[in-house]
Amino acid sequence: MHGLIAPADMAGARAAPGLPAAAPVHEDERGFCLRIGRLALRSLYAELTLYPKPGLVSLRDNGSHDDMSAETFMRSIFALRHYFVRITLAGSRGAPFGVLAALGIEAERRMLAATGGVNTHRGAIFGLGLLCAAIGNCRAQGEALSAQAIRAAMVARWGAALAAHARTPNTGSHGRRVAARHGVGGARHEAARGLPAVFEVALPALRRALAAGRGQRRARVDTLFALMAHIGDTNVYHRGGAAGAATVSRHARAFLASGGTGAAGWEERAERCHRLFVARRLSPGGAADLLAAACLVDAVTAGDA
């Protein structure tokens, strides 16, 4: 991921929609935004390359998907290399939600151009974009980069707009149909509530597993299962309905109850779950995004930025 972001990206950042073009970007601010952008890409790459990851695309196989592969995701990650830098800068400048949304919609356009029209990271563009903006805002306010401060900055600066966004009808997305049929709010409602899946489920699970000495791979697998056990994933509902969502939650809880990756034979159990989800075409894409989001917050709060 190291070489993906060049200083030229900051030039691109200044030209970002809604940001004052003449606003000078100071050296330390520039360096910070580049580092956060790099950590965001690294988090998406960490998610993609993790295995076993029930139903999801990895370097091993395409999971429950006929329309995308690891290559599709790599193209998407490369297409987002400017976006995360820009939205971090926008957040540091206290940009309104409309500016962030415009950056996100532009990023979605770049993603679709890179993937041949496949939706790989629409949810990640939203969730990780919001976190990058909050991280930039936190630093600009002189706050220490803790999980609590990042969440507080996101809610304080964009909470009202996110609540309004969650109330607006989805534009022809799966999310709208899932919300109408199953009452599951998805990404918008998750953000409107301050990303509880990231800060109250994923991050604690990741840190518990790391503190238990399980290493990054096993900690990330445990975290993905914790997310699958707890969230309403619109991707799962879209493909498998309420029965599919119950299947995902039941198998995730069983894996965790058996000790997660701390128990002998965990990898075979996780791969068996992967094969079952693939057979039923289930794909917890929302959990995958939230895992990447937790990896980003963990890296930033560990001082990697």
Ligand X SMILES: CC(C)(COP(=O)(O)OP(=O)(O)OC[C@H]1O[C@@H](n2cnc3c(N)ncnc32)[C@H](O[C@H]2O[C@H](COP(=O)(O)OP(=O)(O)OP(=O)(O)O)[C@@H](O)[C@H]2O)[C@@H]1O)[C@@H](O)C(=O)NCCC(=O)NCCS
Ligand Y SMILES: Nc1ncnc2[nH]cnc12
By CB under 6 A, is residue 139 in contact with ligand X?
A: no
By CB under 6 A, is residue 56 in contact with ligand Y?
A: yes
What type of residue is 29?
Answer: E
Question: Tokens for 167?
Answer: 């109330």
Is the Cβ of residue 222 or residue 289 nearer to ligand Y in the bound state?
A: 289
CB of 69 to ligand Y, least distance (A): 10
Question: Tokens for 263?
Answer: 């128990």
| Cα gap 292→188, rounded to integer Å | 17
* Contact (CB, 8 A) for 203 and 294: yes
Tokens 């809604």 found at: 18
Give the DSSP letter of residue 4.
Answer: G
By CB under 6 A, is residue 285 in contact with ligand Y?
A: yes
Element (H, E) at 108: helix 97-115
List 5, 34, 36, 48, residue binding ligand Y (CB under 6 A): 48
Stretch that binds ligand X, among 30-38, 88-96, 126-134, 253-261 (CB under 6 A): 126-134
CB of 77 to ligand X, least distance (A): 12
List 29, 47, 222, 233, residue binding ligand X (CB under 6 A): 233
Is the Cβ of residue 55 or residue 136 nearer to ligand Y in the bound state?
A: 55
* Residue 125 binds which of ligand X, ligand Y, none (CB < 5-8 A, kind-dependent): ligand X
| Cα gap 58→283, rounded to integer Å | 12
Q: Which sign does the torsion angle of CA 284, 247, 179, 189 carry?
A: negative
By CB under 6 A, is residue 124 in contact with ligand X?
A: yes
* Residue 104 binds which of ligand Y, ligand X, none (CB < 5-8 A, kind-dependent): ligand X
CB of 303 to ligand Y, least distance (A): 26
By CB under 6 A, is residue 136 in contact with ligand X?
A: no
Is the Cβ of residue 6 or residue 180 nearer to ligand X in the bound state?
A: 180
By CB under 6 A, is residue 47 in contact with ligand Y?
A: yes
By CB under 6 A, is residue 57 in contact with ligand X?
A: no
Q: Which residues bind ligand Y (CB under 6 A)?
A: 47-48, 56-57, 63, 65, 283, 285, 288-289
What is the contact surface with ligand X in residues (CB under 6 A)?
Answer: 67, 100-101, 104-105, 119-127, 129-130, 170, 173-175, 186-188, 190, 231-235, 238-239, 283, 285-286, 289-290
